Amino acid sequence: MAKEPRRRGAARTDELLRTTIELATEHGYAGLSIEAVARRAGVGKHTIYRRWPSMAALLLDALSRVWTTDLDYHDTGDVRADLREQFLRSAPALAAPPIGPVYRALIAEAQADETLRATLYDRFLRTVEERTLARIVRAQRAGELVAGVDLTFPAEVLCGTLYYRYLLSTRLAEEKAVDALLDMFMAAYGS
C-alpha cells in the first residue's frame, strides 16, 4: 500500500520529463514554459512546481534523462583514434533530438542566470571534461603523450573547441575540424 503512491509519483515525474523533452523538440526554447508543459500533460501548474521550482530545474532533470553514457570515450589504446571517434559520435548526438533541443534550452536559460550556469557546469560539463582528462591521462601513462605535463587545461581546450561550434555557429564539428583539433593537440603533447 505504501509503495503505490510513490510509484505513481515516479511515473508522473517521468511523464512530465518526457512531455518537456517532446515540447523542446517540437518548439525549441521559445515554446517551452511551465504552462506549456502543464497543458500538454493535462495537469495543473502546481503539479509541476511541486517537483521543480523552475523551468531550469525541470530542464536539468530532462537533460539527465536523455544524456547517455554512450557518449563515453572508448579505449582502444590509440588516444588520437579514440578522441576522434568520440568527437565525431558526440557532436551530432548533442545537436539532434532528444538531447539537442533540451540542452540548448538549458544553455539559453543559463545565459541570464549565473547560478544555473554553475549548476549546468557542475552536473554536465565538469563530467565531460573529467572523462576527457581521464582518457588523455591514460594515454600519458601509456607513453602516447609527453610525461610531466598537466593535461587538465588541454582537456578543457578539446571540449571547449567543440562546444564553441555547437553554440555559436551552425557548423557541426565534422571530420576536418576534428582532425585539425587533434593535429594541434598531438603536435603539442604527442610523445
Task: Name the residues that contact a second copy, by CB under 8 A.
Answer: 28-30, 104-105, 107-114, 117-118, 120-121, 125, 150, 152-154, 156-157, 159-165, 167-170, 177, 180-181, 183-185, 187-189
Min dist CB 159 to a second copy, Å, is 7
Q: Which is nearer to a second copy, 64 or 164 (CB)?
A: 164
In a 10 Å sphere around its CB, with 0-12 CB exposed, 13-18 middle and 19+ buried, how is residue 169 labelled?
Answer: exposed
Min dist CB 128 to a second copy, Å, is 10
Choose among 97, 93, 91: nearest CA to 23.
97
As given in the structure block, the three cell numbers for residue 64 are 539527465
Q: Which is nearer to a second copy, 43 or 177 (CB)?
A: 177
Min dist CB 135 to a second copy, Å, is 17
For residue 23, give every residue at least 6 positions away whose Cβ sits within 8 Å of its Cβ, in sequence order, or none.
Answer: 31, 32, 36, 37, 40
Q: Which is nearer to a second copy, 2 or 187 (CB)?
A: 187
| Helix (DSSP H) and strand (DSSP E) numbers for the chain | 10, 0
Min dist CB 131 to a second copy, Å, is 16
Min dist CB 28 to a second copy, Å, is 4
C-alpha distances in Å from residue 165, one per residue of 107, 152, 157, 158, 178: 14, 21, 13, 12, 11
> Rounded distance, CA 19 to CA 33, Å?
11
Q: Which is nearer to a second copy, 43 or 186 (CB)?
A: 186
> Rounded distance, CA 175 to CA 87, Å?
9
Q: Which is nearer to a second copy, 34 or 108 (CB)?
A: 108
